Amino acid sequence: MKTFDVVVVGAGPGGATAARYAAMSGASTLLLDRRREVGVPVVCGELTSGSTFPEFSLDSDGPWVAHQMGITRIVFPEGKILDFHGIKLVTLHRDIFEKHLVEMAMDEGAEIRMNTTVRGVTDPGETSTSTHETNNDLSFGGVVLKNGEQVRAKVIIAADGVKSTIGKSMGMVRAPAIRDLGRAMKYIVRSKNIDQSMGQFFAGEEGTQGYAWILPKGNDTANVGIGTLGGTRTFLRPALDRFIEKRIPGAHKESFTAGCLPVTLPPTRTVWKNVMLVGDAASMVNSVGGAGIRNAMVAGRIAGRIAGEYVQESKPMSYLEKYEKAWRKKLYPRLRMNYFIKELMWHSETSSKHFYPLIAPMNRIMNMVPGLLSWIQNKQHM
Ligand SMILES: Cc1cc2nc3c(=O)[nH]c(=O)nc-3n(C[C@H](O)[C@H](O)[C@H](O)COP(=O)(O)OP(=O)(O)OC[C@H]3O[C@@H](n4cnc5c(N)ncnc54)[C@H](O)[C@@H]3O)c2cc1C
């Protein structure tokens, strides 16, 4: 049976980042994923903030950047439009992006095994209350793979996405209520009629408790999708087809994927014994917009660093609790605020239109003070 200091389950943005920072600290690190190829298939709107790149020492012009947009447009159900200038939004080639994140982890010394499904956690050890006990005293737990093989680990970082197998096997997360599970789907479309200058969001489109999006990717292509709360009865794919026909008539659809995302608050505990939950596994998603890439990376970095320190400095297991405090300090206030807004905004099929009078004055102020939005954006990433 192989033993590693840190085993990370899931090679998405959260897990790849966790593995990168754990390995950087000198911990022997194994990254496992059930997919055959990193980043494939892409089930995502592929939108992120431009400031994600410098924050993680990534090149802002790297091959993972598909397109940068100068304007963010919100279209309300009765046709009113708000344009926000100055938000630095970027569409990714997410498959290339994830591959690069994994390569960065491997450059730091992490090993990766794809096509490897983790079934659960074994014997995670006891939580230490003694400050004298070090991780060297513990009988380490580990993970069990689908083929029955076991891998021992001092720390397990579960970045295994929504409906986290590890989180459930540890009793840390429960299956989300249907209304707290967003459903979303997207096509990559090609058309000369795509406005490449702006990212567009259509609130309440097709009667959804959510929105549809057109996110340009350059070269006459765009990521076009629709998302809604799980409880909505709308048949999403025909709704998305109608949306495309209405907004980009005649567009050629090149590929289709669908998935779900947690639009709820994180669980009360994201550390239990030697297991830490990262990203979607801990519902670290913006409940209004559905963005979770950067949050997963922020939490992954914190988890990887703390796991590395724990192992390298032979700290007591209670040291891992630092993760809980650190990620909450950085992400929780905004997650909570967005969850609250989502509860107000999407609780009925018509409520999105009531948000126009609330957002419109803010939009005017933002556009009157050039640079304010990008300043706020940068502040959030510090
Ligand atoms: C349709 C859609 C559109 C979205 N659009 C955006 C967007 O535009 N911008 C944005 O920021 N966010 C978006 N999101 C959310 C975003 O995709 C997630 O928040 C983000 O991927 C979270 O990263 P993660 O690393 O936590 O999890 P994931 O990216 O889900 O990675 C989890 C990994 O774990 C692996 N895994 C799962 N279970 C196991 C197991 N048992 N054993 C081994 N491996 C396992 C999976 O194969 C996967 O590779 C969207 C989501 C959806 C569904």
Spell out which residues line ligand 1, taking CB within 6 angstroms.
9-15, 32-35, 43-48, 117-118, 159-161, 165, 184-186, 225, 259-261, 279-281, 285, 290-293, 296
Could you give the angle at the alpha carbon of 135 between the alpha carbons of 130 and 139, nearest 5°?
105
Give the strand pairing for 47-49 and 181-190. Answer: unpaired
In a domain, 161, yes or no: yes
In a domain, 62, yes or no: no
In a domain, 65, yes or no: no
Asked if the model's pLDDT at residue 353 lies above 80, the reply is no
Rounded-to-integer distance, Cα 378 and Cα 382, Å: 7
The enclosing domain of 234 has a CATH number of 3.30.9.10
pLDDT, position 377: 63
Range among 126-135, 171-180, 313-322, 369-378 with highest mean pLDDT value? 313-322
pLDDT, position 139: 44
Query: How remote is the CA of residue 280 from the centroid of ligand 1, in Å?
Result: 6
Closest residue to atom 37 of ligand 1, CA basis? 160
pLDDT, position 126: 45
97 and 137: one domain? yes
Closest residue to atom 38 of ligand 1, CA basis? 160
In a domain, 362, yes or no: yes
| Chain centre to alpha carbon of residue 73 | 22
In which domain, by residue range, is 254 found? 72-89+177-263+350-382
287 and 191: one domain? no
Q: Higher-confidence residue: 10 or 206?
A: 10
pLDDT, position 46: 98
What are the angstrom distances between the C-alpha of 144 and each of 153, 165, 334, 370?
Answer: 11, 11, 35, 53
How many folded domains does the chain comprise?
2
Which residues, including other chains, have CB under 8 Å from residue 297's CB and lie 6 or more apart?
A: 13, 14, 17, 52, 56, 101
pLDDT, position 177: 82
pLDDT, position 127: 41
Query: How remote is the CA of residue 109 from the centroid of ligand 1, in Å?
Result: 23
Query: How remote is the CA of residue 315 from the centroid of ligand 1, in Å?
Result: 31
In a domain, 228, yes or no: yes
Query: How remote is the CA of residue 169 from the centroid of ligand 1, in Å?
Result: 19
Query: How remote is the CA of residue 134 from the centroid of ligand 1, in Å?
Result: 34
Q: Which of 34-48, 89-103, 294-308, 358-372 has the lowest mean pLDDT?
A: 358-372
pLDDT in tens, 205-221: 888 888 999 999 999 99
What are the angstrom distances between the C-alpha of 51 and each of 25, 54, 333?
Answer: 24, 6, 19
Query: Does residue 286 sit in helix, strand or coil?
Result: coil
337 and 218: one domain? no
The enclosing domain of 326 has a CATH number of 3.50.50.60
294 and 183: one domain? no
pLDDT in tens, 61-74: 999 999 999 899 99
215 and 322: one domain? no
pLDDT, position 345: 76
Query: How remote is the CA of residue 244 from the centroid of ligand 1, in Å?
Result: 25
| Shortest-distance atom of ligand 1 to CA 165 | 41
Rounded-to-integer distance, Cα 60 and Cα 51, Å: 8
pLDDT in tens, 246-297: 999 999 999 999 999 999 999 999 999 999 999 999 999 999 899 999 999 9
248 and 186: one domain? yes
203 and 330: one domain? no
Per-residue pLDDT, averaged over 91-104, amounts to 98
Q: Higher-confidence residue: 347 or 32?
A: 32
162 and 203: one domain? no
Closest residue to atom 29 of ligand 1, CA basis? 12
DSSP 226-243: EEEETT----HHHHHHHH
360 and 287: one domain? no
Query: How remote is the CA of residue 361 from the centroid of ligand 1, in Å?
Result: 34
Query: How remote is the CA of residue 296 from the centroid of ligand 1, in Å?
Result: 9
- Of 21, 32, 33, the one to substitute when testing ligand 1's pocket (max ligand atoms within 8 A of C-beta) is 33
13 and 119: one domain? yes
In a domain, 167, yes or no: yes
Asked if the model's pLDDT at residue 129 lies above 80, the reply is no
pLDDT, position 107: 98
Per-residue pLDDT, averaged over 339-346, amounts to 83
172 and 185: one domain? no
Q: Where are the beta strands (DSSP E) in the chain?
A: 2-9, 29-32, 47-49, 65-75, 81-92, 111-113, 118-122, 141-145, 150-158, 181-190, 198-203, 210-218, 221-229, 252-262, 271-272, 275-277
pLDDT, position 348: 65
Which residues, including other chains, have CB under 8 Å from residue 86's CB and lie 6 or more apart?
A: 70, 366, 367, 370, 371, 372, 373, 374
79 and 136: one domain? no
Closest residue to atom 2 of ligand 1, CA basis? 44
pLDDT, position 349: 60
Closest residue to atom 15 of ligand 1, CA basis? 292
Query: How remote is the CA of residue 256 from the centroid of ligand 1, in Å?
Result: 16
Asked if the model's pLDDT at residue 347 lies above 50, the reply is yes
Per-residue pLDDT, averaged over 136-145, amounts to 70
pLDDT, position 361: 83
- Of 53, 260, 280, the one to substitute when testing ligand 1's pocket (max ligand atoms within 8 A of C-beta) is 280
Per-residue pLDDT, averaged over 232-249, amounts to 92
| Shortest-distance atom of ligand 1 to CA 116 | 43
pLDDT, position 157: 98
In a domain, 81, yes or no: yes
In a domain, 375, yes or no: yes
Q: Which of 106-115, 317-326, 351-360 has the lowest mean pLDDT?
A: 351-360
Question: Does a cis peptide bond (omega within 30 degrees of 0) precede residue 216?
Answer: no
pLDDT, position 136: 44
158: closest CA among 339, 36, 296, 37?
A: 296
Query: How remote is the CA of residue 357 from the centroid of ligand 1, in Å?
Result: 34
Query: How remote is the CA of residue 289 from the centroid of ligand 1, in Å?
Result: 15
Asked if the model's pLDDT at residue 134 lies above 70, the reply is no
| Shortest-distance atom of ligand 1 to CA 118 | 42
| Shortest-distance atom of ligand 1 to CA 213 | 8
49: closest CA among 239, 294, 320, 299?
A: 294
Tokens matching residue 307: 């796991």
| Shortest-distance atom of ligand 1 to CA 119 | 41
| Shortest-distance atom of ligand 1 to CA 223 | 8
Q: How many residues does the chain have?
A: 382
Per-residue pLDDT, averaged over 334-340, amounts to 92
Asked if the model's pLDDT at residue 351 lies above 90, the reply is no
Contact present, 199 and 213 (Cβ < 8 Å): yes
Rounded-to-integer distance, Cα 157 and Cα 124, Å: 12
Rounded-to-integer distance, Cα 281 and Cα 14, Å: 9
